[in-house]
Structure 1
Amino acid sequence: MHSPPPPPPSPTQAAENDAVAPLQPLLDLITNILSLLLLSSLTVRSFVGRWQILRTKLVSLQSSLSSISDSPHWSENPLLHTLLPSLLSTLQRLKALSDQCTLSSFTGGKLLMQSDLDIANTSLSNHLHDLDLLLRSGVLHQSNAIVLSQPGPGSHKQDLVLFIRDIFTRLQIGGVEFKKKALESLLQLLKDDDKSAAVVAKEGNVGYLISLLDFHHQSSIREQAVLALSIIVSANDESRKIVFEEGGLGPLLRILETGSMPLKEKAAIGVEAITTDPENAWAISAYGGVSVLIEAFRSGTALTQSHAVGAIRNIAAVEDIKAALAEEGAVPVLVQSLTSSSNLAQENAADCIATLAASGEYFRLLIIQERGLQRLMHLIQDSTSSIVTVENALLAISSLSLSDSAARILSSTTSFIIQLGEFIKRGNVLLQQVSSSLLGNLSISDGNKRAVASCMGSLIKLMECPKPVGLQEAATDAVLSLLTVRSNRKELVRDEKSVMRLMQMLDPKNEALNKKFPVMVTAAVLGGGSNGCRKRLVAAGAYQHLQKLAETEVPGAKKVLQRLAGNRLKNIFSRTWRE
């Protein structure tokens, strides 16, 4: 009993197995059949209009085949081992049809013949497209064109461009195995050379790469394509614009909605990157993307959640989308993200909450109702939080503090007030400015003001900083708030460095600083009428500086000077009476 014959290899497998098989006899056979078809297309008696269209394409095909045979290394390209047999099959089928159409009387079914001619016409168009793509790529002019080697880091840009074109040629023309290997080469290039993504976006066919996200493609191909797109779209503004203009956002959102978990993770990266550009972010609503992003957070992995929240953060800045965020339940999702195990998710969520809280009382109340304020306060005191997360959380708290209910909670939470003092002493400039602003604006109890008295020296120092805009005013307001407590006034004047800095700021020779700020602080120090505070300021030179400032009519200087002078005269008269 004979065993059944093995199944014939697929076109792609045949191309790989016969990569070195001679192609010249095959090309000669194709050329002969093509010549016969060009002649018979002039003598057909049936369906003349359709054959005129076919003849135009046959002439183009003859030109393409001539260009291929003129290329020095055409026979080394593995794609032709797939293309030429398929082309031969189409031409043989077309020759059989032409024989029927040249008969004096056509006796077959007209509808069937029309259908067969249309199918052959479509196949011929596809062959022409593939051959044209192969010719334009330039790879047929390279030796060893079976697979071009990946250019090294120091290679010429033209070598990189040629390699990219070769990848996309194999990607578009080849079968499944060619596509997989082309995608592997593309991903290896993107991984090894972080600058190559911008060149791929410009020189490769991004639109075709996007088309591989369709669900009729194998999952492995789709996964590789999504990963490649997520890298390309994250490269720079230009590559992000190209992917968006080629229609990448919609397919990425579909993957994010219905794809497997690995696909969703990569799609979320791409969606976040595209929406980084405000001009692209608005398009999310056109695809129903708000609900997709929210659901991706609810059901996704930690990585998917992080980038989904990042995309929500990006679109939250678009005014028209804010209403949709509220309707779709984005606020509970964002507040929940603050407790995520992912630092990136916490960072993005806090940033988004800050944006929404700054947009109006409606969102502030929603966030407070979801206990977002308490979670934000926990974040800024959590030692595991990243510095960016802390910054975003504090900005969100600052916006929420505009709501009366939030302001009451913040003002009465001693641990929060103490944390503000720590930020003022040891934080970066952003944390110092926001913390100063909060200390100056909240209605803090005297006990809490005494608890953060140690940050007054840092606040005085911040008053000397002209940048960023608003820092001097915020620091001044915070100092003025703390100086309403008598013990804090005494503590400030006992700090020689702070008093010296205050005098330097009052000095008229120091023209870089707005004098109203140190004048206000000096007035606050004298506000309680403490003779000890007055003496220290006079001894440090405040009287002379204020005299000059009063002469130049600096606001408030004359009044503070009168306090200093009034106290001096009062003490003189008191001493004379006792004597």
Structure 2
Amino acid sequence: MADTAGSGHRRVITLISSLISLSLSIRVFAGKWQLIRSRLEELCSAFVAGDSTSLSSEIPEVTGTVEECHELARRCLDLSYSGKLLMQSDLDVTLGKLEAHVKKLSEIFKKRVSMHGYAVVVSRPGFGACKDDMRFYLRDLMTRMKVGDLGIRKQALMNLHEVVVEDDKYVKLVVEASEFVHLLVDFLGCDEVEIVEEAAKVVSVVAGFDYYKGVLVGAGVIGPLIRILECGSEMGKIAAVRCLCRLTENSDNAWSVSAHGGVTVLLRICESGECKGELIGPACGVLRNLCGVEEIKRFMVEEGVVSTFVKLVRSKDEVVQVSSIELIQNIASGDELVRQMVVREGGVRVLLRVLDPLWTCSSKSREVVMRAIENLCFSSSSCVNLLLSYGFVDQLMYYVRNGEVSIQELGLKVAFRLCEASEEAKKALGDAGFMAELVKFLNAESFEVREMAAEALSSMVTVAKNRKRFVQDDQNITLLLQLLDPGEGNSGNKKLLISILMSLTSCNSGRKKIVSSGYAKNIERLAEAEVSSDAKRLVRKLSTNRFRSMLSGIWHS
């Protein structure tokens, strides 16, 4: 008897699987066959998850219905039915029978689980398995999610999360089964915390694929995710906000988040400092994505986003700090009114505090601050003066002299921007000893670093006080002239180097040191080789009556 039940159990699974495959080729009554196929998949999962003994009483009826359905499929495939209305009626009857079977098997499954607390588990297909085996496994997981108790549903969701993380093909199969997506969205709104958390983790993985974001949004995922942020568990909130961060990378979804009250909820989370960087970091990411929509950005500003995130820059959590700085930078970018608000709220002082060498802070935070200062603080003279009054030049000097390579380069870039900003800034940089540091970078390996150093120095020596300070050190002019050797590299910098020397000829001591240097003939070589018209102008500048005899003795010796 057991063998008979076992063979019947195997036969019905084979019949259903064969019918599912056959139905995929049918081109008529597509809507009806999609519903039928969905019920067949549920039946198949139920038989796979069950055992022949507990389901033996249902096997004959299910087999009969499946055989009838198989005949209908053949007639639809061959277009051999007598009339559309009659076939449509036959399909409706069959669909009703299949739904009744699914309901009956679901009740048996639930009863068995409540009595025994376990069910046969379909093994996960091995790596490289065919799509049919993968679909079979997913159908089994779906059945467990639908009819299992809390423990079984949670385990099924955990197994689902595991496979979608490890293999993108499972993500595609989940999305193709619209019922699967809707089931996950339904779980986000259920009362069982553990189910919400696991479902949110799966949805977050699916949201990481651009092609599937529209499917999730179309299934209504955004509303439940925001409700989780309002009143869910800590783990649920973290998964939900990560999912929203991925979904809002597409700006089309920004309005949907706003319409569900998401902006206010996210700002409230950030104000509370809840869950530190795990939650606030991606929350900042969502807000950063949303502020690309001007109307939403205005609402955020009215709701106090600037004040909130200026305070969060003080956080000792690197993720919170970096995310806050980046959001401030994004929201103020190209918006003078918001930039002024950042200044009024003490944003510049807070940013400079992060750069304080005595303050414990990560290199990443300092690099982000340096970029933020470059983007926010050079649009007005008042903001530049604020930087100078807060001692920013001394901080800049510290990082250019002692910082890691990445922050040194950022420091050089900001120094150049300061040089462009005002005469006062150039004087402040000169007073801080910046020129000596810039000279060291003129011979750096990186072309960009050499260029920035030369540009900054060229700008600084236009100030008389800086010129006098520069020429006091004989080594400065010697290095400049050495770098002008036509046989040396760094040819891209020669125009800037000559520009620096031209400025230095404005003072007598500068001219004297240039013409008396053993490397002064490099200027004449450049001029004679017609490599640089600037070199010729410099020669003419140096060839005044006063220095002609000296030049003649040096350059033609």
- Give the equivalent residue in structure 1 for 2:425: 444
Distance apart, 1:146 and its partner CA:
2.8
Give RMSD over aligned pairs: 4.6
Q: Secondary structure at the match of 1:341?
A: coil
Q: Check conservation: 1:449, 1:482, Cα contact below 8 A.
A: yes
Q: Secondary structure at the match of 2:508?
A: coil
- Give the equivalent residue in structure 2 for 1:521: 500
Map Cα deviations across residues 435-487 of structure 1 (whole Å, 9 max, x no partner): 2333323432635423233321344246x8555xxx76643442134433135
Distance apart, 1:219 and its partner CA:
1.8
Residue 182 (structure 2) pairs with residue 208 (structure 1): yes
- Give the equivalent residue in structure 1 for 2:439: 457
Distance apart, 1:367 and its partner CA:
0.5
Q: Check conservation: 1:424, 1:435, Cα contact below 8 A.
A: no
- Cα pair distance change 1:423/1:76, threshold 3 Å: same
- Cα pair distance change 1:545/1:386, threshold 3 Å: farther
Q: Partner amino acid for 1:259?
A: G
2-structure distance, mates of 1:432, 1:307: 28
- Give the equivalent residue in structure 1 for 2:69: none
- Give the equivalent residue in structure 2 for 1:410: 387
2-structure distance, mates of 1:22, 1:180: 34
- Give the equivalent residue in structure 2 for 1:356: 331
**Matching of residues 273-284 of structure 1 within 5 Å:** 273-281=246-254, 283-284=256-257
Residue 373 (structure 2) pairs with residue 397 (structure 1): yes
Distance apart, 1:208 and its partner CA:
2.8
Identity %: 22
Q: 1:178 aligns with which of 149, 152, 160?
A: 152
- Give the equivalent residue in structure 2 for 1:138: none
Distance apart, 1:344 and its partner CA:
0.8
Distance apart, 1:518 and its partner CA:
2.6
- Cα pair distance change 1:407/1:432, threshold 3 Å: closer
Q: Secondary structure at the match of 2:492?
A: coil
Q: Partner amino acid for 1:404?
A: S
Q: Secondary structure at the match of 2:484?
A: helix
Distance apart, 1:83 and its partner CA:
9.1
- Cα pair distance change 1:406/1:79, threshold 3 Å: farther
Q: Partner amino acid for 2:339?
A: R
2-structure distance, mates of 1:395, 1:304: 24
- Cα pair distance change 1:497/1:318, threshold 3 Å: farther
- Cα pair distance change 1:499/1:253, threshold 3 Å: same
Distance apart, 1:346 and its partner CA:
1.0
- Give the equivalent residue in structure 1 for 2:169: 199
- Give the equivalent residue in structure 2 for 1:147: 121
The range that moved more, 209-218 or 349-358, is 209-218
Distance apart, 1:157 and its partner CA:
6.3
Residue 52 (structure 2) pairs with residue 77 (structure 1): no
Distance apart, 1:571 and its partner CA:
6.2
Q: Secondary structure at the match of 1:204?
A: helix
Residue 362 (structure 2) pairs with residue 386 (structure 1): yes
**Matching of residues 472-483 of structure 1 within 5 Å:** 474-483=452-461
2-structure distance, mates of 1:497, 1:188: 65
The range that moved more, 363-372 or 418-427, is 418-427
Q: Check conservation: 1:394, 1:434, Cα contact below 8 A.
A: no
- Give the equivalent residue in structure 1 for 2:109: none
Q: Secondary structure at the match of 1:530?
A: helix
Q: Partner amino acid for 1:147?
A: V
2-structure distance, mates of 1:365, 1:257: 32
Q: Check conservation: 2:370, 2:410, Cα contact below 8 A.
A: yes
2-structure distance, mates of 1:255, 1:457: 57
- Give the equivalent residue in structure 1 for 2:275: 301
Q: Partner amino acid for 1:301?
A: C
- Unaligned stretches of 5+ residues in structure 2: 13-31, 62-92, 107-118
Map Cα deviations across residues 121-167 of structure 1 (whole Å, 9 max, x no partner): 9986755778999xxxxxxxxxxx93133456x55464656544432
- Cα pair distance change 1:267/1:563, threshold 3 Å: same
Distance apart, 1:354 and its partner CA:
1.7
Q: Partner amino acid for 2:50?
A: P
2-structure distance, mates of 1:355, 1:298: 18
Distance apart, 1:494 and its partner CA:
0.7
- Unaligned stretches of 5+ residues in structure 1: 1-19, 31-55, 90-119, 134-144
Distance apart, 1:328 and its partner CA:
1.9
Distance apart, 1:533 and its partner CA:
3.3
Q: 2:414 aligns with which of 435, 448, 466?
A: 435
